[in-house]
Amino acid sequence: MVRMERELEIALVGRLRAGDVLAFDAVYDDYNPRLLSFLLRMTKNRAAAEDLLEETWLRLVSGGEELAADTRLGPWLFTVARNLFLSYCRSRAREQAYTRDLMSLWPGELSRSPYDSAFLNEFQDRLEAALAEVPPMYREVLLLVGFEGLRAADAAAVCGITPEALRQRLSRARAVLSQRLKDKELSHEMVSKQVSL
């Protein structure tokens, strides 16, 4: 993180500790979609993801005054969200949700050509489906490092493991995702052939 950004973050944390609503809004606007994307891909259930996200925000505002002055907001929020997800898994055992739930969630479309749109949608749908089949311990590192772009050390802190363990887990996660993606492509090709016959 650039020094200036870090200084801004420290200032933001100070304002959060003081109960500044505008500081909260800034953090909320920045992290809300990112946390929802993470939680939705982990839970595979929109209602559950929204509940967990709401609880994440309430934890921030209720414990705001206890934040350490040098708290890094991204890792802190993702750690809370992840811990809530783990509690949710323990209490409800809903891990085996349907991938299809995830596919119907995209509210808007970017402007692309029909070909690009069809190709990208097809690939992204397959990627989403493959990702949804990756075991949670691997899925979370793919999302934190790949999608969120967290540094290895931060992602390791969120997951409660060492950076070295995270690197190994990420490597395994890539292999699992790659295999799932290949399976999806294979089954897609088979369906296409059957349709064309």
Residues 43-102 touching another protein, rule: CB under 8 A, are 50, 53-54, 57-58, 60-62, 64-65
Is residue 10 within 8 Å of 69, Cβ to Cβ? yes
Instruction: Please tell me the distance from the alpha carbon of residue 146 to that of residue 193, in angstroms, as a whole number.
Output: 33
Looking at the Cβ atoms of 37 and 79, the one nearer to another protein is 37
Can you tell me the distance from the alpha carbon of 80 to that of 91, in angstroms, rounded to the nearest whole number?
16
Nearer to another protein, 60 or 166 (CB): 60
Residues 13-52 within binding reach of another protein (CB under 8 A)? 19, 21, 24-25, 28, 32-34, 36-37, 40, 50
Number of neighbours of residue 85 by Cβ within 10 angstroms: 20
How many residues line the site for another protein (CB under 8 A)?
Answer: 41
Nearest alpha-carbon partner for 72 in 123, 25, 8: 8
User: Which position has the token pair 């500081």?
Assistant: 23
Q: Does 135 bind another protein (CB under 8 A)?
A: no
Cβ contact 81:38 at 8 Å: yes
Residues in contact with another protein by the rule CB under 8 A = 19, 21, 24-25, 28, 32-34, 36-37, 40, 50, 53-54, 57-58, 60-62, 64-65, 105-108, 123-124, 127-128, 131, 142-143, 145-147, 149, 171, 174, 177-178, 181
